[in-house]
């Protein structure tokens, strides 16, 4: 089951059925099946709190993915800062919806085993995000 939860922010407008189908199709491309996935939309302050508490990182970010996947079933909690998504959309000259879709699928790619810890891996992650976004 894919859930969309808001913590202290207005929930972003999503086409949930279309988004759920897209997530499942993207996971299938990596040989995975969507299990229990919770998107938690929050503020910058909340994501900073989560980052400090669980990852010992003292900085803001757009997304934090907690991976509970087992075998081929992807599951996890994906925290998304709506504030940072808005800021990034402005910075990159794209709509809020476009940037939100990139972040939504970014978390799924992490659950599917994709990494972005080096510049080369970040480029590859962006390429995979772009492919997925084209299919949305």
Domain count, the chain: 1
Give the rounded distance of the alpha carbon of 21 from its chain centre. Answer: 15
Give the pLDDT confidence score for residue 107 in this predicted structure.
97
**Alpha-helical runs (H) found in 56-95:** 82-92
CATH of the domain at 118: 3.40.390.30
Sign of CA dihedral 122, 113, 20, 50: negative
Give the separation between CA 81 and CA 92, rounded to whole angstroms. 16
Report the phi/psi class of residue 11: left, alpha or beta, with left for phi > 0 and alpha for psi in -120 to 50: beta
Give the pLDDT confidence score for residue 86 in this predicted structure.
96
Give the pLDDT confidence score for residue 30 in this predicted structure.
95
Give the pLDDT confidence score for residue 69 in this predicted structure.
96
* Low pLDDT (below 70) residues in the chain: none
Q: Which long-range contacts (CB under 8 A, 24 or more apart) does 60-69 make?
A: 60/84, 62/88, 62/103, 63/103, 63/106, 63/107, 65/107, 65/110, 65/111, 67/110, 67/111, 68/36, 69/32, 69/35, 69/111
Give the range of the structural domain holding residue 119, as residue numbers without chain letter: 2-135
Give the pLDDT confidence score for residue 25 in this predicted structure.
96
pTM listed for this prediction: 0.93
Give the pLDDT confidence score for residue 13 in this predicted structure.
92
Give the pLDDT confidence score for residue 24 in this predicted structure.
97
Neighbours of 13 (CB within 10 A): 9
41-63 pLDDT, tens digit per residue, is 999 999 999 999 999 999 999 99
Contact between 5 and 16 under an 8 Å Cβ cutoff? The reply is: no
């Amino acid at each position: 089951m894919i859930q969309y939860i808001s913590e202290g922010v207005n929930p972003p407008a999503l086409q949930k059925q279309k988004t759920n189908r897209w997530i499942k199709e993207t996971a299938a491309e990596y040989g995975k099946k969507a299990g229990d996935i919770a998107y938690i939309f929050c503020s910058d302050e909340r994501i900073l709190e989560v980052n400090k508490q669980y990852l010992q990182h003292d900085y803001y970010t757009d997304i934090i993915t907690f991976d509970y996947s087992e075998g081929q079933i992807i599951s996890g909690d994906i925290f998304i800062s709506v504030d940072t998504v808005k800021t990034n959309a402005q910075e990159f000259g794209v709509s809020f919806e476009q940037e939100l879709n990139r972040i939504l699928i970014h978390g799924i790619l992490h659950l599917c085993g994709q990494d972005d810890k080096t510049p080369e891996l970040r480029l590859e992650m962006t390429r995979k995000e772009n492919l997925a976004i084209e299919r949305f």
